[in-house]
Amino acid sequence: MSKSRKSESVPKKMQAKYDEIVAITDRVCAEHLNGEFAQLARYVTAALCRKRPSPLTNGRAGSWACGIVYALGSVNFMFDKSQEYYTSAQDLCAAFDVSKGTGYAKSKQVRDMLDMTQFDPVWCLPSMLDDNPMVWYIMVNGFIVDARSMPREVQELAYEKGLIPYIPGERPD
Q: Where are the domains of the chain?
A: 12-116, 132-173
- Enter the pTM of the model: 0.86
Nearest to 126 by CA among 68, 171, 79: 171
- pLDDT tens digits, 117-159: 988 888 989 888 888 888 899 998 899 999 999 999 999 999 9
- Asked whether the predicted pLDDT for residue 100 surpasses 50, the reply is yes
Phi, psi for 45 (deg, rounded to 5): -60, -45
Q: For the chain, how many helices (H) and strands (E)?
A: 7, 2
Q: What is the pLDDT of residues 9-42, one digit of tens each?
A: 999 999 999 999 999 999 999 999 999 999 999 9
The closest of 56, 76, 73 to 14, measured between CA atoms, is 56
> HSE on the CB side for 110, CA within 13 Å?
30
Q: What is the CATH number of domain 12-116?
A: 1.10.472.10
